[in-house]
């Protein structure tokens, strides 16, 4: 009963979350994308909402239902995702980047379907780098002044702690969350490594929904400290 009357962990917070992959068009029927089910980001959106936050979820192409009470904005490409996030970030107090953003997109996207010409010749694709959404938000004045708390994710195939620590500093975020392998794409459970300026701590293997609740509690604790 006491828990019912206690203020919720994220009451008054505006949480902005990216989730899922992005899709970068080659032509109207083809593109490149990343493996990502979006489940971790959707679970965090649900947990943040249940913790009392106003939640906006910017989702790439995924097949998941919108968590109850969450405002969802669907996007396709990394550039769409950045525009949508930039439009929402002014109102946010917490930004959590779980999306598996495609690092590169085709330099040009054909207006019409590219056809085989019958000679066996293959098309050559040139790529350009996509904007880094997390780094862009983390460098904004509100993030730098502590009004917007930024959290990044990292999926590494080796040396998780080392890569996650370096990535945290490179992106300029106070908290970076590593997915502890093996790859968890599409799975319902995961294990996480939390890396901040003070060190690291593991959230042992559990369902993504349970881990999302634990992560929300960790973020709430850090908000109390940084904004106390």
Mind telling me the catalytic residues? Answer: 34
3-class secondary-structure state, position 105: strand
Q: Which is nearer to Ca ion, 49 or 95 (CB)?
A: 95
Judge whether 153 is annotated as a binding position.
yes
Smaller CB separation from ligand CTP, 39 or 167: 167
Is 115 one of the annotated binding-site residues?
no
Q: Look up tokens 């559990």; give the residue.
A: 206
Q: Is 170 helix (H, G, I), strand (E, B) or coil?
A: helix
Stretch that binds Ca ion, among 42-50, 95-103, 122-130, 193-201 (CB under 5 A): 95-103
Residue 132 marked ligand-binding: yes
Which pairs count as long-range contacts for 198-202, CB under 8 Å and 24+ apart, including other chains? Answer: 200/161, 200/164, 200/165
Residue 156 Cβ vs ligand CTP, minimum distance, rounded to whole Å:
7
What lies within 8 Å, CB to CB, of 134 at 6+ separation is: 95, 97, 150, 152, 171, 173
39 is in an annotated binding site: no
C-beta of 172: minimal distance to Ca ion in Å? 16
Q: How far is CA 43 from CA 24, 122, 190, in A?
A: 25, 41, 12
Q: Under the rule (CB under 6 A), what is the footprint of ligand CTP?
A: 18, 78, 97, 99, 101, 103, 130, 132-134, 152-155, 167
Q: Which residues have a Cβ under 8 Å from the Cβ of 8 and sit 6 or more positions away? A: 50, 51, 52
Q: Which of 11, 103, 125, 169 binds Ca ion (CB under 5 A)?
A: 103
Nearest-approach distance from CB 167 to ligand CTP, in angstroms:
6
Residue 129 sits in the site that holds Ca ion (CB under 5 A): no
Query: Residue ranges for the binding site?
Result: 103, 113, 131-134, 153, 167, 171
């Amino acid at each position: 009963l006491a828990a019912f009357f206690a203020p919720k962990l994220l009451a008054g917070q505006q949480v902005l979350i990216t989730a899922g992959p992005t899709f970068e068009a080659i032509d109207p029927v083809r593109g490149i994308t990343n493996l990502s089910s979006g489940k971790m980001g959707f679970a965090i959106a649900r947990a943040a909402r249940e913790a009392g936050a106003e939640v906006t979820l910017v989702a790439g192409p995924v097949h998941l239902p919108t968590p109850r009470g969450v405002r969802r904005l669907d996007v396709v490409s990394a550039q769409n995702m950045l525009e949508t996030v930039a439009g929402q970030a002014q109102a946010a107090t917490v930004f959590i980047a779980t999306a598996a953003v495609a690092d590169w997109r085709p330099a040009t996207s054909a207006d019409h379907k590219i056809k085989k010409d019958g000679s066996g010749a293959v098309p050559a694709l040139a790529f350009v780098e996509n904007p880094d959404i997390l780094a862009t938000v983390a460098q904004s004045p509100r993030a730098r002044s502590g009004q917007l708390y930024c959290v990044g994710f990292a999926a590494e195939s080796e040396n998780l702690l080392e890569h996650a620590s370096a990535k945290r500093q490179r992106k300029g975020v106070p908290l970076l969350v590593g997915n502890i392998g093996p790859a968890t794409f599409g799975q319902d459970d995961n294990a996480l490594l939390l890396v901040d300026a003070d060190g690291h701590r593991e959230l042992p293997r559990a369902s993504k929904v349970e881990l999302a609740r634990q992560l929300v509690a960790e973020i709430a604790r850090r908000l109390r400290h940084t904004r106390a």
